[in-house]
């Protein structure tokens, strides 16, 4: 069974780049009847908060990305300590005592010599006297994983064959001097324990993957399959950031973006597949293939999302929105109303305006009282349907000679108070004869 995980740190609100990764994992799993694990990387006690963790869960639920399993790394610290001790015993982890300033100096010196900033493994060469000196100074060791200096190869589902050599990589720090864990060890341990088969993440982790492959091997486990996708940027090419609050899911929701519009956009942006609105996640999962992801940098275009959002609303059936309209207090909304107005919506909340136009007391515009009276006298009797508008217009043209803009714009202003909107042939039966008469006379609707 395919098992994937989305492992965000609850140190900020999810942005669209984070959600793109969550969605790719979810669709990859669902396309093969697999499992999706939400794993909160909350070992950073200073920056991780309950508020951010809750917001992550709420964002995923809003998007429909329900998980099969929820894990918190803060609950697994004993497991990480146990694994660390085994790696120490096996000689794959060693203590280093350099301060951050000393390490920074080493890296600068290597760069000035045209060398890559790779750790020199001086921690492996400490004699007893030097160790006593460091301990007397009160230094606490950080712990590094000792890489084998051999070839590391893997087939990436997006990038194809990838090759590193261990000697070109720096031994990674697994545990800081204060005893807290960096990303590397908990991630690998969790992937093994949770039987993760496929890891889909950003291309900024490619070098980490080379390191983790050796870590998996040191843990006696087979590495999962990897896929590294280019990172999403804003329209200018600037990277997204949780700390800066860049394009958060919450802000998208507040702006009236539909969950499935965002899902439809993020599932296919940067791929060879056409971007089009999908009504359900199941529809997206049927055609999802992570290998369709391109190597170019995808740019998030709010205007493209806005257009997609409108297109999705225009295709949404009444069954999917009826409860939402009732939740907004639009109790006279029905299928005829939704069909009349949906093609004019950019955001779902726009439906409130058109409900007022059809059923409430609104301000309309009658610039020529004689025009209003003339066309009112020609109103057909009820019952009305979609053919009523055409019959009325033909009679006005025949009897009064009004046509073109001199007819249609004044009528729209008189009936809706606006110079744009849904087709009046659809609105007319909803507004009703009594209310139309009052509006043509320039009166308030009252309790019609």
> For residue 374, what is the domain's CATH number?
1.10.10.350
- 16 and 131 share one domain: no
pLDDT (0 to 100) of residue 242: 73
3-state class percentages of the chain: helix first, strand second, coil last, to nearest 5 = 50, 15, 40
Contact 245, 280 (CB under 8 A): no
Q: Is residue 289 located within the same domain as residue 200?
A: yes
Can you list the positions of beta strands (E) in 270-339?
299-300
- In the sheet that 173-175 helps form, which strands lie side by side, from edge to edge? 93-96, 142-145, 173-175
Same domain, 97 and 212: no
Residues 83 and 148 in one domain: yes
For the chain, the domain total comes to: 4
Query: pLDDT grade, residue 172 (50/70/90)?
Result: very high
pTM: 0.91
Task: Please check whether residues 247 and 205 belong to one and the same domain.
Answer: yes
CA 254/CA 55 separation, integer angstroms: 14
Domain identity same for 194 and 311: yes
CA 337 to chain centroid: 31
- Please identify, among 144, 175, 206, the residue that sits at the C-terminal boundary of a domain: 175
* Residues 97 and 202 reside in one and the same domain: no
Is there a single domain that holds both residue 305 and residue 207?
A: yes
Domain range enclosing 302: 1-69+188-315
- pLDDT for the residue 44: 87
Asked, for residue 445, whether it belongs to a domain, the answer is no
Is 42 part of a structural domain of the chain? Answer: yes
The answer to the question of residue 181 being in a domain is no
What's residue 444's pLDDT? 63
Judge if 208 and 255 occupy the same domain.
yes
pLDDT given at position 158: 97
Confidence of residue 446 (pLDDT cuts 50, 70, 90): low
Looking at the fold, whether 211 and 118 belong to one and the same domain comes out as no
Joined together, the tokens standing for residue 15 give 């942005």
| Same-domain status, 6 and 84 | no
User: Mapping DSSP to helix (H, G, I), strand (E, B) and coil, where does residue 118 land?
Assistant: coil
List, in order, residues 6 or more apart from 444 with CB less than 8 Å away: 361, 438
pLDDT exceeds cutoff 80 at 409: yes
**194 and 65 together in one domain:** yes
**Domain end residue (candidates: 175, 207, 233):** 175
């Amino acid at each position: 069974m395919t098992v994937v995980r989305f492992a965000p740190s609850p140190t900020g609100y999810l942005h669209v780049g984070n959600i793109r990764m969550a969605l790719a994992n979810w669709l990859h799993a669902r396309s093969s009847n697999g499992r999706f694990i939400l794993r909160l990387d909350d070992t950073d006690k200073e920056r991780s908060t309950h508020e951010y963790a809750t917001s992550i869960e709420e964002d995923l639920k809003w998007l429909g990305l329900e998980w099969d399993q929820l894990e918190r790394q803060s609950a697994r610290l004993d497991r990480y300590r146990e694994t660390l001790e085994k790696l120490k015993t096996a000689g794959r982890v060693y203590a280093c005592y350099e301060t951050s300033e000393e390490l920074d100096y080493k890296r600068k010196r290597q760069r000035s010599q045209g060398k890559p900033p790779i750790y020199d493994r001086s921690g492996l060469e400490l004699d007893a006297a030097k160790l006593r000196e460091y301990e007397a100074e009160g230094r606490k060791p950080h712990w590094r994983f000792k890489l084998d200096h051999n070839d590391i190869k893997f087939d990436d589902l997006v990038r194809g064959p990838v090759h590193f050599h261990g000697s070109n990589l720096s031994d990674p720090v697994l545990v800081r001097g204060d005893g807290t864990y960096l990303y590397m060890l908990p991630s690998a341990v969790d992937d093994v324990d949770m039987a993760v088969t496929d890891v889909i993440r950003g291309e900024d982790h490619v070098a980490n993957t080379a390191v983790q492959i050796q870590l998996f091997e040191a843990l006696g486990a087979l590495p999962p399959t990897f896929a590294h996708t280019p990172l999403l940027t804003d329209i200018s090419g600037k990277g997204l950031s949780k700390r800066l609050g860049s394009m958060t899911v919450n802000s998208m929701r507040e702006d009236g973006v539909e969950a499935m519009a965002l899902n439809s956009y993020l599932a296919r942006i940067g791929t060879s597949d056409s971007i089009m609105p999908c009504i359900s996640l199941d529809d997206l999962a049927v055609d999802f293939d992570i290998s369709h992801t391109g190597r170019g940098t995808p740019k998030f275009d709010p205007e493209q999302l806005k257009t997609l959002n409108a297109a999705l609303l225009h295709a949404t059936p009444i069954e999917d929105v009826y409860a939402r309209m009732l939740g907004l207090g639009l109790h006279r909304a029905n299928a005829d109303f939704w069909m009349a107005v949906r093609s004019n919506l950019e955001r779902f909340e726009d439906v409130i305006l058109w409900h007022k136009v059809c059923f409430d007391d609104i301000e309309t515009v009658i610039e020529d009282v004689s025009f209003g009276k003339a066309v009112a006298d020609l109103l057909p009797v009820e019952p009305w349907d979609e053919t009523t508008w055409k019959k009325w217009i033909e009679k006005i043209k025949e009897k009064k000679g009004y046509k073109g803009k001199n007819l249609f714009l004044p009528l729209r202003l008189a009936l809706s108070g606006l110079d744009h909107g849904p087709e009046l042939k659809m609105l007319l039966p909803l507004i009703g004869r009594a209310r139309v008469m009052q509006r043509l006379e320039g009166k308030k609707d009252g309790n019609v």
